[in-house]
Structures are given as C-alpha cells and as structure tokens.
Amino acid sequence: MPKLIIKPSLDEVRELSARGNLIPVYAELPADLDTPVSLFLRLAGSDPAFLLESVDGGERIARYSFMGVRLREAFILRGGQLARHHLTDSGLRIEPLPEPVSNEPGRKGDVLDALRAEMKRYAFVPLPNLPRFCGGLVGYTGYDVARQFEALPETARDVLGTPEAIYLLADTLVAFDHARQRLLIIACAFTDGAESLSEAYDDAVARIKSIFARLSAPMADLAPNPAAVCSPARSNKTQDEYERLVVQAKEYINAGDTFQIQVSRRLARRTTAHPFAIYRALRRINPSPWMFYFDFGALLGSKGGNPLPPLRLIGASPEMHARFEDGIATVRPIAGTRRRGLTEAEDRAMAQELITDPKERAEHVMLVDLGRNDIGRIAKYGTVSVPDLMVIENYSHVMHIVSSVQGTVRDGLDCFDVLRASFPAGTLTGAPKVRTMAIIEALEGERRGIYGGCAGYFSFNGMMDTCIIIRTIVMIGDTCYLQAAGGVVADSTPTGEYKETANKLRATMVAIDEAEQA
C-alpha cells in the first residue's frame, strides 16, 4: 500500500479556521488499478453508504465519482416530521427536530427550511486541488414532499410506506478522480463544536485512516439472496386500466383543467439478485448523467421492535431536476421519447420522427415554459434564458428531446429556495403544475412515494445538484418497485402512452434480468 500523506497539517488547519469552521482534511492515493465499483465494494461494508456517478449525455464519463462511507447520521422525514437519526456504539438515537422557521414572510416553514438551519452550522473552507463537492447532505426528496409546499388533496393511498425524504450527512467522502486516476479520501473537521480544534483534526485523520485500512479488504460478496424468490413483474395497473386513465386524463384536458398530465404506473418484482449487482448491470446497460446507489442501512430504524426492511435506491436518471452553482439555477426538462433504432439508419429515422412530431414538440414546449416559470420564481428579473432548446439526446434504450433553462438567483435566496421553486419537476406532473398534481392524485389512486422526486446533494459550500428520480428501482427488502409515466396531451393515444411507459421501464427490467442471471 502507498504511504498515507494527510493534508493540510494541524498548524495549517489552525490558520484556515480563521476563515470558517468546516475544513476538509484529505489524503491522495493512486487509483489507476481501481474502479469506483471495486472501491465501493471494499469500502461500503454493511454501513449506510452511497455511490454517485455520471456519464455526460450517456457517453462521456464525468471527472468525479463520489462514495459516502462511515455514514452515521441522517435526516429522515416521516409523516411530515423531520428527525435526526444518529448511529452510536450503543444503537440508533432518534431526535425529532424543532418546528422549522421560514426564511420568507407569510410562508410556513417546511423540511427545506429545517435542512437549511442544520447546514447553517457549517462555514466551509474550500481548498485547491479538491472537487467542488467535498460533502454535505446526500439523499432523496420524495414526490410527496410537495404537500409541504402546496395545498394538495390527501386521497391517494400510501402503499409503499417509505420515508418522504432521507438525507445522509456526508462529512466523510471518497472521490474517484477519473481524469487524474487518483483517489481522494476527504474527512471534514468541524472546528466549532464541543471538541477542541486539535481533537476535531484528530477525528478527521482517524476517519481517513479507517477508510485507508479498508482499501486492502476483500470486495463484498454479491451472492444472490438465498431467502428470496424471483417473481414476474406485477403492475398496479393493467394495460386496460392504464389506458382508461389516459382517456380520463384527456377528458380533464378537453375540459380545460390542464394542458398535459403525466400518468404513471408501477411494477413490483421480487428478486434474488443482490441490490448492488442490479446497480452494476444498470450502469453497464444504461449509462446516464445521474447514476446513484443508496443503501440507508440501520439508519432507518425499526417498527414495533423489528428492524425495518432494507431500503435501497438504484438509479440511472437522464434528467436533471435542478442545479445551483455560482449563483445560477438550472433546470433541464426532458419530454418526448422514442426507442433507439436497431441500426444507425433506423436511429436517425427515429430521431427525425421524434423531433418533427407535433405532439412531442407541443408537449416539450409546454414543459420548457413551465421550467421558465419555475426558475422565474427565484431569479433576478430579466435573467431567465433557454441556452439549449429541443436537442436530441440518446440513451441505451430510448432517445429524448432535451432543453436547458437557467437564471441568476436573487440575493438572499439559496439552494433550498431553488429546490422548492422547482419541485416536483414539471416533466413528472404536467402543466399547470399544482392543478395537475391534484388530478394525478385522483387518477393514480396511490401515492408516488419516492418516484418523481429528486436525488442528489446539498453541498457544504452551498451548491446543489439533483436529478429526477426516474429510471430508478426502489428496492424494499427483496422487492423491486419500478415506475414510469406517459405524458398525456390532447392528441395522445391510450396505447401510445402505455407503450411509452413500457419503453421507459425497459432498462431497469433488463438490469434486474441480468443481475439474476449473473
């Protein structure tokens, strides 16, 4: 093993503490013989963990992959109540958080205000040679968190019972630098707590050394679950039932209630495959700009004295939810789908058919306008723009029409305001957003839960990067839940929308197939 050199030194941290109270301490190691997957299998163990990866446009690997390990704390939202879950040597400690306070007059506090209050404890000190993301809150905000932001009906059943949101506190991070083939083990030293500065530094160094020691450990076994059984996928809506929902959605549109409605259906499938084996298959067959694997482990807690079943998220999302960086907020609506062609000629023909389809163009323009409205809620006047309009992007099984909308965020607002203004994404609801969400509640009859929300991070340095939770498997115990929606407009056909959901579900279904066969 290479020698472990830790930077900055304690004396340098003392100097840096004049600029802030959260200082990244790190070690740099060669990683030319490793991959993010092999490292994750060595480092994660049975602890709560995550892996974030990216392949830009489905083709170019982004510079960094991020792994969260040694995670001991999370903020979990259940039944509208946010609590801090902290793993200690004696077990899990759960501490309900106080009622959140809004940063805007006349608006009731919500989960994002509570997360902001937690993050305000930290004044991050950036260092050269490190990635922009060195830790923060990492996790998901489920679709139904929208009930904290908007007045919505409460008629749909909560079938899955997953937490509305989970954010892991990642103060220890492993970054895989693809460009320089190096590994960065980063542990943030919090110098403003009960510990002295030297104790905080020693704690960060100990976390780095613990991860370094794991690098020589054998990779985790991805053997199938012997207690599980495989079962065919079952849909919560038959084809006939789904197509009737499309007809009903068109009736709402023709009555003038809405212009477009995203109507979804969900599959359930039991599997013997190891969750991370499914992720490996998904990243191979459907490389995407936002790939993620979350295992929330023992942080979930128990119910009735029994541990809750394991919850994992396995995703390869093509679509940004919202990003906030250097004062700029960005959303990137995707609307319009075709399957990939079997040959280059057929692929080009499918792309031409997609980009010239009046129905697809009308749906896409509608959602670009919705994105402009969302960004306009938090942007300075005159700064909202559309840098990219109606570009075709290809993925393993489908192609999409994609646009980009951005604006300069008003003074006094932050990443949490950007998420609130854009949540949930219009491409997962339709337009107008709030009225359409009420219609979705009536049509679908079951709460979406995690699907249609967003996954990503709020960084210690104020950045945010999130994707929409689509092309994602929500795995509860040994059961995989997959969900997809068709965008219904006035000239949609019921069969066409059903086929669109089938196309969108294909990559995740194939990933489970491959993991089972392996």
Write down all domains in the chain, each with its CATH number in brackets.
6-216+230-517 (3.60.120.10)
Question: Active site includes 451?
Answer: yes
Residue type for 109, please? G
Which segment of 96-105, 117-126, 380-389, 493-502 scores lowest on mean pLDDT? 96-105
Look at residue 497 in the predicted model and tell me its pLDDT.
95
Average pLDDT value over all residues in the chain: 92
Which pLDDT belongs to residue 282? 96
Q: Looking at residue 275, what is its pLDDT?
A: 96
Give catalytic status of residue 407 as yes or no. no
272 in Cβ contact with 230 (< 8 Å): yes
pLDDT at 393: 86
400 catalytic residue (yes or no): yes
User: Residue 207 pLDDT more than 80?
Assistant: yes
Name the pLDDT band for 360 (thresholds 50, 70, 90).
confident
**Helices 275-285 + 36-43 axis angle, to 10:** 170
Residue-wise pLDDT tens digits, 214-237: 988 888 888 777 767 788 999 999
Report whether 177 contacts 184 (CB < 8 A): yes
Evaluate if residue 61 carries a pLDDT over 90.
no
Buried b (16+ CB within 10 A) or exposed e, 99-130: ebeebeeeeebbbbbbbbbbbeebebbebeeb
- Of the listed 42, 364, 372, 400, which one is catalytic? 400
Residue range 290-316: mean pLDDT, rounded: 91
Indicate which residue of 135, 301, 336, 487 is catalytic.
Answer: 487
Residue 460 has pLDDT above 60, yes or no: yes
The pLDDT score that the predictor gives to residue 30 is: 93
CA distance 5 to 8: 9
Going by C-alpha positions, the residue among 299, 325, 327, 295 that lies closest to residue 312 is: 295
Give the pLDDT score at 56.
65
With beta carbons less than 8 A apart as the criterion, state whether 147 and 41 touch.
Answer: no
Q: Are 53 and 36 in contact (CB under 8 A)?
A: yes
Check 68, 471, 486, 501 and give the catalytic one: 471
Tell me, letter by letter, the H, E, C secondary structure of 457-517. EEECCCCEEEEECCCEEEEECCEEEEEEEEEECCCCCHHHHHHHHHHHHHHHHHHHHHHHH
For the question of residue 269 being annotated catalytic, the response is no
pLDDT for 102 equals 87
Q: pLDDT tens-digit profile of 13-55?
A: 999 999 999 999 999 999 988 999 999 999 987 789 999 999 8
Please tell me the predicted confidence (pLDDT) of residue 338.
87
Catalytic residue from among 162, 172, 408, 427: 427
pTM of the model: 0.93
Q: Which of 451, 457, 481, 498 is catalytic?
A: 451
Query: What mean pLDDT do residues 100-116 have?
Result: 90
pLDDT tens-digit map of 157-206: 999 999 999 999 999 999 999 989 999 999 999 987 656 899 999 999 99
CA distances from 205 to 197, 209, 360 (A): 12, 6, 54
pLDDT above 70 (res 318):
yes
- Residue 427 annotated to the active site: yes
